[in-house]
Amino acid sequence: MPKLYEYFGLIVLFYSNEHQPIHVHGKFQNKENKAEFIIVDGKIVDIKYSSVRGKDPLDNNEMNKFKAVVENFKDDIVQKWIDFFLLNKEIKAEKITQKIK
């Protein structure tokens, strides 16, 4: 379970047995959502957010944090997916300590 980011208690991660399409999970306590990247011709054209089966969804505050991280680090997230799942590189978690605007 490679953790990508920690942002004021919210954890953004991949599960180690993930599947296509490229997506990340946002977890806070026992709540969780995911963000799926829609990529066309190598460019991110959309991000779709959804709930995770069997998990309570993030509350509005945590969902806003999740969206801020995903939208600000989207290119980095896609690169980390490629690095981890295709190139078998280790991923180092980053702790974000500044508020994202």
pLDDT, tens digit (0-9, with 9 covering 90-100), for 10-39 = 999 998 777 778 999 999 999 999 999 999
Structural tokens at position 23: 């997506």
pLDDT above 90 covers a percentage of the chain that reads 87
Does some domain include residue 101? no
User: Is the Cβ–Cβ distance between 10 and 17 less than 8 Å?
Assistant: no
Does some domain include residue 13? yes
Displacement of CA 61 from its chain's centroid (Å)? 16
Does some domain include residue 73? yes
In this prediction, residues 34-47 reach a mean pLDDT of 96
What domain range includes position 89?
3-96
In the chain, the number of structural domains is 1
- Which residue in this structure is represented by tokens 């969206």? 67
pTM equals: 0.91
Does some domain include residue 74? yes
Mean of the per-residue pLDDT values for the chain?
A: 94
